[in-house]
A and B are shown apart, each in its own frame.
Chain A
C-alpha cells in the first residue's frame, strides 16, 4: 500500500502547522518523520489517519484520494504515544477489539489473537489487565492490536518515548525485525534521531511545518541539505564555524583552512562532525587554535569540548586522551569531510 501526501497544508486559525508538505511512501517502506517538537510531524501523521482535517492538499492511499474518507474506512492502524489501551479490558480483549467490531466469528478471533500475541511474545499475558503490565508490555499490546487487523499501513506516534533508555534500545530492534517480517508500509514519527537512523528506510526531516530533506539515513547524515538537518542529525551535533570563503580557503577568526571549493563568498558556515576532526598540539600549522573547555569519558571514546575562534567545538578523541581543561590545543579538520552552508539561509553550497 502506498501513501502519498500532496501539498498538505494545515492551519489552526492563524497558526500554520504544516506548509505544503509533499512526500510519498512506497509499499513496504519504513518512513520516519523526524523533527523537534512542534515541527508538525504528529499533525501530518494524524492527517494520514484521518484524525485531523486537512486545510488544503490531498492524502492518497494507493492512488485513491482519501482526504475526506472516515478514519475507519482507510484501513490504517495506529499505535499512539500513550498506547491508548482500554483499561477495563484484558490484553486478549484489547487485541481482539478491532475484530470484534467487524463481527468476526468467535473462533476466528481467538485464533488470530493467539497468533499475533505469540508474534509479540505476549501469549503468557493474555488474561492480564493493562494496569498490571510494564511499559514495554503495554507497548507490545498496542502493537499487537494494530497488527491483528492486517492493515494496509501502520502509523506510529513516538511509541518508544515512554520507555526507559535500555528498553528503548531493545524495542527498536524488535520493531525493525517485525516490520521487516510483516512487510507493511509504516510511517513513524519521532524526535529521537537515533531511532530515525536505526529504523528507517528513509527519513523525512521537518522543521516548523516545512520539509527540510528526505532521503536514506545515510544521505541525511553524509549530505545534509541545510544547517538544520546537519545540526539535528548526529550525536554529538555537528560543529559549526562562521566565516568567509576566500579563493578556496575558509577564513575564520585568524586562521584559514583549505577547502575543496573554488571561489570566494562572504558569510559562510563550515560544518564538520566530531569524528572528522582531531586534537593536536597547539600552534600546529593548518589547525584551528583553541582551548579545552571540558572532557567527558564516554567509554570507548572521549568527547573534548573546546573553545576555538569564538565558537564551541566538540571533538571525538581516543579513550586515552589525557589533556586537561584550559590547555591550549589545535583542532585539525579533515578537508574531505567538511560541509559548507550559505550564511543567511543555511542551504548547502555545492
Chain B
C-alpha cells in the first residue's frame, strides 16, 4: 500500500522540491505586491462596521507628486544653486556613456532599448530633483534623502571598505584579528546601532563631548540641523555596512593570482602600478556586485532614521520606508502603499540600471 504512494511522491519529487519556495514567495511577495498595488489606487477608511476600501484612481499619487504632500515626498522646490548643476550634468554623462556602450554592443533589442531609455530618463530626473530641492530655501523630500543615503552613503562605504581591504591584504601580522573585529558591526541589530550612535553623538554628555567642547562645537545640536542629522545617519550606516564591503573585497584581493602580481613586481611595477593594472581589473566584477547588493539594501533603510532622529528635524532624514510607515501609522493605507510602490519603482529601476550600466560591462570586460 505504501509503495505506489512513495513512487508517486518520487515522480513528483522534481516539483515538490521547488514548490515550497515558490508557494511561499507567491503568498508573501507576489500576492502582497498585488494587494499593495490595489491599495495604492484606493482610499482606506474606517467605518462603523470595520473598514472600507474605495477605488480612487491616481489620487494618492497625485497627492504626493503634485498635491499637499509634495513637500514631503519630492521636496520644496527652490532655484538651483550654482554648484548643484553638477548633479544633472553628471547624471547625463553617466547615462549617456551607458547608453552609448549599450548601443555599440550590437545586441540591441527593442525592449532593452526602451527599458534603458526609461531608466536613463529617471536617473536624470532624480538628479535634477535633488538639485532643484537642495537650495537654501528649498527642502529635500524623502525621495531625495533616500537617494542621498544610497549614492553618497554607498560610495563612501565602498571607498573606505576598499581602502581597509587593501591595507589588510598587505603582509602584516594580526590580519586574522582585524578580520574578525572588523566583521562585528555587521552583526549588531540596526536598532542597537541607532541607539548606540545616538549616545555617541550626544554633544553634551557623550563620550566625545570633551572633543567637541575643545573644538568649540559643544553647543551644536546636530539633531536640529538637516545636514548634520543626515550626516550622523550616514555615519551610523557606514559604521554598520563598511565591514560587508571590506570582507568581500579583502577576499577578492587575496584571491588574485599570486603569480601575476609577482610577475609584475619582477618587471619593476611598484605598489600603485600593480593595483591599477592588475588588482583593480581583477576585483572589479566583485566590487561591482558588492556595490549592487549594498545599493539594493540601502534603499530600504528605516531603522537608523527612525530611531536616531525620528525622521527629523522635520523630514530632513526621513527615508521612503519611514515615510510609508508614518502614513500607515495615521491609517492612510492608500498613501502608504503609494509611497511604498514609488520606492519599489525607484529602487528597481536604479538597481537594474546599475546592473546594466556598471556590473554587466565590468563583467564582460573580464570575460
Binding site for B on A (CB under 8 A): 49-51, 71-72, 76-78, 80-82, 84-88, 97-98, 101-102, 131, 145, 149
Contact = CB atoms under 8 A, between A and B. Distances in A.
A226 to B, nearest CB: 34
Given A80-B259, A82-B257, A86-B260, A71 B266 contact: yes
Interface in B244-287: 257, 259-260, 262-269, 273, 277-278, 281
Interface residues of B, number: 18
B260 A84 contact: yes
Contacts of B366: 87-88
19 contacts: A49-B262, A71-B266, A72-B266, A77-B266, A78-B263, A82-B257, A82-B259, A86-B260, A86-B264, A86-B277, A87-B281, A87-B366, A88-B281, A88-B365, A88-B366, A97-B267, A97-B277, A102-B268, A149-B267
Contact of A49 (B266, B269, B281): B266
A145 B366 CA distance: 21
Interface of B: 257, 259-260, 262-269, 273, 277-278, 281, 365-367
Contacts of A78: 262-263, 266
Given A51-B262, A71-B266, A86-B264, 4 more contacts: A71-B265, A72-B268, A101-B269, A145-B267
The 3 closest A-B pairs by CB, nearest first: A84-B259, A98-B267, A84-B263
Nearest to B259: A84
Contacts of B263: 78, 80, 84, 145
Contacts of B266: 49-51, 71-72, 76-78
A58 B267 CA distance: 22
A246 B268 CA distance: 63
A76 B265 CA distance: 11
B365 to A, nearest CB: 7
A76 B259 CA distance: 15
Contacts of A82: 257, 259
Contacts of B259: 80-82, 84
A107 B268 CA distance: 20
Contacts of A131: 367
A50 B265 CA distance: 10
Contacts of A101: 264, 267-269, 273
Given A82-B257, A86-B278, A98 B268 contact: yes
Residue of B262, B267, B273, B277 ringed by the most chain A CB atoms within 10 A: B267
B273 to A, nearest CB: 6
Contacts of A81: 259
A51 B267 CA distance: 12
A41 to B, nearest CB: 17
A131 B273 CA distance: 23
A49 B264 CA distance: 12
Contacts of A149: 267
Given A51-B262, A97-B264, A84 B257 contact: yes
A23 to B, nearest CB: 22
Contacts of B365: 88
A101 B270 CA distance: 9
Residue from the set B259, B263, B278, B366 with the largest chain A CB neighbour count within 10 Å: B263
B262 A84 contact: yes
Nearest to A72: B268
Contacts of A87: 281, 366
Contact of B262 (A80, A86, A145): A80
A50 B263 CA distance: 11
